[in-house]
Amino acid sequence: MHGRLRRNPHLESLPDDVETLKAALIVARAEAAAARAEQSDNRALIAHLKLQIEKLNRDRHGPRSERTARLLDQLELTLEELESSATEDELTAEMATAKTTKVASFTRKRPSRQPFPEHLPRERVMVPGPVACACCGGARLSKLGEDITETLEVIPKSWKVIQHVREKFTCRDCEKISQAPAPFHVLARGWAGPSLLAMVLFEKFGQHQPLNRQAERYAKEGVPISLSTLADQVGGCTAALMPLFRRLEAHVLSAERLHGDDTTIPVLAKAKTDTGRIWVYVRDDKPFGGQAPPGAVFYYSRDRAGEHPQAHLANYSGIFQADAYGGYGRLYEPGRNAGPILEAACWVHARRPFFVMADLAENARRKAQGKKPAVISPLALETVRRIDALFEIERGINGETPERRRAVRQELSAPLIADLEAWMREQRAKLSRSNDVAKAMDYMLKRWSAFTRFLDDGRICLSNNAAERGVRGIALGRKSWLFCGSDRGGERAAVMYSLIVTAKMNDVDPQAWLADALARIAEHPVQRLDELLPWNWRSAIRNVDQAA
């Protein structure tokens, strides 16, 4: 009949019974939940595999660009979210399938977990066994063995007061009173133990937690400590650790080659904040097979005047790898009293502007977001390709001796450098002065001797990434602690950054090392102070562990 609604054949096949419809709906929901859980698991697995591939590529070939670290951070964040979602969907599917027997529950295939570390203490909690057989009810049970299920647990931070009791004795013959001397404190008239002081220092300078936030947390844990009291301890510890900083400074500035860089640091001023600077100088001999331990020293200044690096390196001579900041210029002048400093330019700095003008991935993202893509420069793209070829050679000789590195560079890199220079000068002649590609080329061509110095010296690296890694923590922490309270605060921060970053560079737990160093430094012989430096401390701890 014309105009009559057509019946849906699927609706006609549904049962009329309400209970049967409810059961079918439960099954459909369970199937949907299981499918969603499986889909979430697949997404998490894909993200996990992508992250593993990128990590393996980095370990095998080294960082392929300055964006590698940022890419890994993004992949780890994506994996974190997808794993959480997959587990949530799995539990939802389990609850949905529990209501029906017609849908199999979905269980994720997780990678096998590594056993818990052997050094962790074990607490045995005995679960009472049966007193009668579950089958026949008999009481003649004999122990066959046991199964152990391990659960990782943490004991919340606990506070305690240590009382040092010194008994007094009087002499019956001469009536004199005898008593053991008072134990050393980290600070004169101190009240805090070394572990507490190390925690406060590492939280402030290593984890970027200001003292006011620490004081709030301690108060909630039942231990009210005023902000001024904590600040007093920080100042005292910095003074106590200053001899170690001086020994570290001497070690770093005796290097054959230094990396240098600086970054901004907000400093509180009247009704505003000024922009100070933190300078870092890094010693890292691993790229050319050096045996000296790595280290970093930081300095603070209120401005970026060239007099500051000139004062920091007044007694240094050797190779200096840094960007083209004009304040370094006087360091390279001939006739210095301390000896010559050779400039080694950073190819990563030179590559960066070309990379920005040839960022195909960024253009693809802009296009996907409906934004107007930037113009890709063919010249910039070709320059990046040529520079990347140099870095590919470097990855194969990382950690080799200076002689081996120089030989490979003379054979493989020197022809590429010659071709690059000829090509750049030819292309530069065709560009106007205001062209961005021309400016990037001029940056390199004006400093060509500094850029090519690595061909004749195997100790030189192509990049200044070692220094940039040193200041990365400061850049990450700026939003947390907002600003330094004064110039003195900036100087204290520089000292503590030096010690903590150096400990990390030597694979030492900074907080554990600080606690032990603070506990020992008051009575440690001055002539043996080097024993407390992170790399020597680590060796001593390993020897003690092996002996135990």
pLDDT by residue, tens only, the chain of 548 residues: 444 445 555 555 666 677 777 777 787 787 787 777 777 777 777 767 666 766 666 665 555 444 555 556 566 656 656 666 666 666 677 777 777 777 676 666 665 667 878 888 899 988 888 888 888 888 888 888 888 888 888 787 789 998 889 899 999 988 899 998 887 777 777 788 899 999 999 999 988 888 888 999 999 988 998 888 888 888 888 888 999 999 999 999 999 999 999 988 877 665 566 778 899 999 999 999 899 999 999 999 988 899 999 999 999 999 999 998 888 989 999 888 888 999 999 999 999 999 888 876 566 666 666 766 666 788 998 999 999 999 999 999 999 999 999 999 999 999 999 999 999 999 999 999 889 899 999 999 999 999 999 999 999 999 999 998 888 877 776 665 555 666 778 888 899 999 999 999 999 999 999 999 999 988 888 899 999 999 999 888 877 666 66
- From the list 498, 501, 505, the residue with the least C-alpha distance to 312 is 498
| pLDDT of amino acid 484 | 62
| pLDDT of amino acid 511 | 95
Query: How is residue 395 written in tokens?
Result: 């990855």
Last residue of a domain, one of 97, 125, 155: 97
Any domain includes 299: yes
Q: 471-504 burial, b if ≥16 CB within 10 A, otherwise e?
A: bebbeebeeebebbbebebbebbbbbbbbbbbbb
Number of folded domains that form the chain:
2
Any domain includes 422: no
| pLDDT of amino acid 231 | 84
For residues 341 and 205, state if they share a domain. Answer: yes
Task: Characterise 172 by phi-psi region: left (phi > 0), alpha (psi -120 to 50), beta (else).
Answer: alpha
Placement of tokens 């970026």 in the chain:
304
- The model's pTM is 0.77
For residues 334 and 477, state if they share a domain. Answer: yes
| pLDDT of amino acid 146 | 86
Any domain includes 532: yes
Last residue of a domain, one of 97, 124, 147: 97
Last residue of a domain, one of 42, 64, 97: 97
SS3 content of the chain, % helix, strand, coil (to 5): 55, 10, 35
For residues 70 and 198, state if they share a domain. Answer: no
Give 174's Cβ-side CA count (13 Å radius): 3
For residues 84 and 229, state if they share a domain. Answer: no
Any domain includes 3: no
For residues 471 and 342, state if they share a domain. Answer: yes
- From the list 26, 489, 502, 464, the residue with the least C-alpha distance to 292 is 502
For residues 93 and 206, state if they share a domain. Answer: no
For residues 209 and 324, state if they share a domain. Answer: yes
Which residues, in sequence order, are bridge partners of residue 277?
A: 264, 301
Cα–Cα distance, 204 to 448 (Å, whole number): 42
For residues 216 and 336, state if they share a domain. Answer: yes
Parent domain of 482:
194-346+464-548
For residues 218 and 86, state if they share a domain. Answer: no
For residues 234 and 339, state if they share a domain. Answer: yes
Any domain includes 247: yes
Angle between helices 510-521 and 227-252 (to 10 degrees): 90
Cα–Cα distance, 424 to 380 (Å, whole number): 10
Any domain includes 508: yes
Question: What single DSSP character describes residue 271?
Answer: T
CB 203 within 8 A of CB 214: yes
Give 360's Cβ-side CA count (13 Å radius): 6
Any domain includes 129: no
Any domain includes 426: no
| pLDDT of amino acid 76 | 61
- From the list 324, 381, 348, 353, the residue with the least C-alpha distance to 440 is 353
